[in-house]
A = this chain, B = another copy of it.
Amino acid sequence: MDNLKPVRVNRNRLETNLQALAVYGHNGPSKGITRPFGSQADKEARAWLSTLWSRHLELQVHTDPIANLWVTIEGKENLPAIVVGSHHDTVTNGGMYDGAMGVLLATEVLQTIQEHGIQLRHPLKAVSFSGEEPNSFNVSTLGSKVATGKLSTEDLFEKRDNKGTVLFRETLHELGGDVGLLTNAIITNQEIGAFLECHIEQGKKLESKGLSLGVVTKIIGIYREKIIVIGEANHAGTTLMHHRYDALTAASELLLVAEKAIVACKSDEVVGTVGYLQVEPNSTNIIPGQVEFILEIRAVDSPYKERIIKEITKGFNEVAARRKVEVQREVILDQAPKPMNAELMQALEHGANQIGEQVARLISMAGHDAANVSDVTRSAMLFVSSVNGKSHCPDEFSRIEDIAKAGNALLEAVLYLDRKLD
């Protein structure tokens, strides 16, 4: 760190890499990217990234048993590593920034440090986690879950895809992983002292403040219930209105009860969604006999969540009694909010200030690999402003100026942490 001129990332190279990776899984002009875990596009993206790391950075790529991809620049001292990274998979018809940007910023930080001949005290690693997005195996943040001991060989050995035709272990094998050795993918705070994930915000908070960058204070908790409404399927012509037990009109009321309870919190840190709903038998001339839906609530403070659940329970019971339908509820996910590490948050703020950027502190309303990693070691996230807040769609966009700023803030934060952490 004896340079007089500050070290900066290469914006053109960063932009080129973003465009190059976006080729894999691209659905054509004005369309999005489909690169889910285990797809042909996933394999191609992994091959491209491995080539970039092994040829351009001349680092040896390590594929762990869950197929997370790692590279390491060794440190001068025997200290836990500093890790930067994100994921390279996408949702169906998603954008080119979610995940990919974080991996390529990590790449850029390593390459910049390398080409300036900077020798760090800590090992510095880049990582691209496997299967962060929802996929056909119904597991999201797959790579970080396994790496933090939340999913084991036992959980995944017999797992199949949605259609029951593809074995998870075979897909993993094709990616270079090995379901029998998952304990070898587990990370500890002895090996890794800090994890920094840079990601697009996917919301409008930074944009509305006119800021390029934000530091995440907490990753929101996610609560999901599977709800089954059981009415009675019957002939849509011959069954009088007052003889009906229509599961779909009942479910419609339940959705509005839930929406009302969520909106009533009047908080920007509480959202709730029914994204999935299935009608049985789903035939024009048969009164719906059963409706299944998944209600998701994301709330930062638990009292909000409890209040919503109380309101919903009251409303659901009233609707069930009045319409004489059965409402079955099952909690399928109840993930607590994850606070980020204060030292790392401060390092990211310091990094941003070094390049003259003000940052906002904000809550992540989306789940991320950093939420899992925070259970094991210090973790923090840097957000980049999303234009119009759009994400998980072809219109997802962040400006290259803002992305380059994130790269430099991340670089400064790494240099700062390398001095501070032991």
Contacts and interface: CB of A to CB of B under 8 A. Distances in A.
A345 interface: no
Nearest to A138: B284
Nearest to A283: B275
A298 interface: yes
A392 B202 contact: no
Nearest to A267: B241
Contact of A276 (B283, B294, B296, B364): B283
Contacts of A134: 283-285
Q: Interface residue tally of chain A, by bracket?
A: 35 or more
B236 A275 contact: yes
Nearest to A298: B237
A324 interface: no
Nearest to A269: B240
A253 interface: yes
A279 B277 contact: yes
Given A202-B238, A240-B271, A277 B296 contact: no
B238 A249 contact: no
Interface of A: 91-92, 134, 201-204, 220, 222, 224, 233-241, 243, 246, 248-249, 251-253, 255-256, 259, 262-263, 268, 270-279, 281-288, 294, 296, 298, 364-367, 389-393
18 contacts: A201-B238, A204-B243, A222-B237, A235-B366, A235-B392, A236-B273, A237-B271, A237-B298, A246-B273, A249-B255, A249-B256, A249-B259, A273-B284, A273-B287, A275-B279, A276-B283, A276-B284, A277-B282
